[in-house]
């Protein structure tokens, strides 16, 4: 498959252009030639030297990641920045990145993957960001408890054996769940507004403790990396359906 065709297909599926003014990440093809062929695609959460080197060792033509290299551009490509990019350029490895578009995709996205783990029903977009959404919410098939929901997250997410932390300020029974993966505690007010009993995200902020306490909502902190493996894995399945060879590389951070 031509690289340009590969990029166009992903951009269309993920609606990359719709997030252009909302995301600090330069989504889409971040590194790559104008022309090229793609037969083997690697996938990883983070676009870093470790995953670049593993993709090169696997003889991949392109690497698709959730977190990329460019968050507003580079001042200089020197030092550590040069060392990180060098494996891509030396080996003609293209880098495709999808940050918020992959968070917000209601079928292939990270929040959708967490909702799948919890078997949530009556799902709807959640996590407003301008005209778009970066999360999902839904209703539990049966009311759950803090311990029950925590156990399901720990068994269904790649937490590396680390416990899921919980700010326990919500009701005894959890029915309505809101999800924004990664760093999503800024959407606590929206979770309260939609009547959520719990907000699931990756990592917290200091102010989230008192905001959750005052709102009467549980906040589950399941790990930034752990909550954001779903999107790239779903894209891997999609790309395999296009007839391309794929690989997936785990580089968990424990954060």
Backbone phi, psi, residue 97, to 5°: -125, 135
67 annotated to a ligand binding site: yes
Structure pTM? 0.95
The 3-state DSSP composition of the chain as helix, strand, coil percent (nearest 5) reads 35, 25, 35
Residues of the chain with CATH 3.40.1390.30: 3-98, 103-227
Closest-CA residue to 101 (of 110, 92, 93) = 110
218 annotated to a ligand binding site: no
Q: How confident is the model at residue 16, as a pLDDT? A: 98
Q: Which of the four CATH numbers 3.40.1280.10, 3.40.50.960, 3.40.1390.30, 2.60.120.1060 does domain 3-98 have?
A: 3.40.1390.30
Mean pLDDT over each residue of the chain, to the nearest integer? 96
- Contact (CB, 8 A) for 54 and 42: yes
With cut-offs at 50, 70 and 90, classify the pLDDT of residue 34.
confident
Q: Which long-range contacts (CB under 8 A, 24 or more apart) does 79-88 make?
A: 83/49, 84/48, 84/49, 84/52, 85/31, 87/49, 87/52, 87/53, 87/56, 88/31, 88/52, 88/63
With cut-offs at 50, 70 and 90, classify the pLDDT of residue 198.
very high
Q: Using one digit for the tens of pLDDT, what is the confidence trace for 106-164? A: 999 999 999 999 999 999 999 999 999 999 999 999 999 999 999 999 999 988 888 99
Q: Using one digit for the tens of pLDDT, what is the confidence trace for 63-72? A: 999 999 988 8
224 annotated to a ligand binding site: yes
Closest-CA residue to 179 (of 97, 104, 100, 68) = 104
Q: Which of the four CATH numbers 3.40.50.720, 3.90.105.10, 3.40.1390.30, 3.90.870.30 does domain 103-227 have?
A: 3.40.1390.30
Q: Using one digit for the tens of pLDDT, what is the confidence trace for 204-222? A: 999 999 999 999 999 999 9
């Amino acid at each position: 498959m031509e690289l340009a065709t590969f990029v166009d297909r992903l951009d269309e599926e993920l609606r990359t252009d719709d997030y252009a003014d909302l995301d600090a990440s330069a989504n889409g093809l971040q590194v790559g030639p104008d022309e090229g062929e793609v037969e083997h695609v690697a996938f990883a959460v983070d676009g870093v030297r470790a995953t670049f080197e593993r993709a090169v060792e696997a003889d991949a033509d392109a690497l698709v990641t959730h977190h990329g290299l460019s968050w507003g551009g580079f001042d200089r490509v020197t030092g550590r920045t040069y060392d990180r990019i060098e494996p891509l350029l030396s080996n003609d490895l293209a880098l495709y990145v999808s940050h918020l578009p992959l968070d917000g995709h209601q079928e292939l996205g990270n929040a959708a993957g967490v909702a799948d783990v919890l078997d949530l029903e009556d799902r709807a977009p959640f996590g407003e960001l301008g005209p778009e959404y970066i999360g999902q919410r839904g209703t539990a098939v049966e009311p759950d408890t803090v311990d029950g929901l925590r156990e399901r997250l720990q068994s269904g997410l790649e937490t590396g054996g680390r416990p899921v932390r919980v700010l326990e300020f919500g009701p005894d029974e959890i029915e309505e769940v809101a999800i924004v993966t990664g760093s999503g505690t800024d959407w606590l007010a929206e979770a309260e507004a939609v009547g959520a009993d719990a907000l699931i995200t990756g990592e917290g902020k200091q102010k989230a403790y008192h905001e959750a306490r005052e709102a009467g909502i549980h906040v589950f902190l399941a790990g930034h990396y752990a909550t954001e493996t779903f999107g790239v894995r779903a894209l891997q399945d999609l790309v395999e359906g296009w007839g391309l060879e794929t690989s997936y590389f785990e580089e968990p951070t424990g954060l």
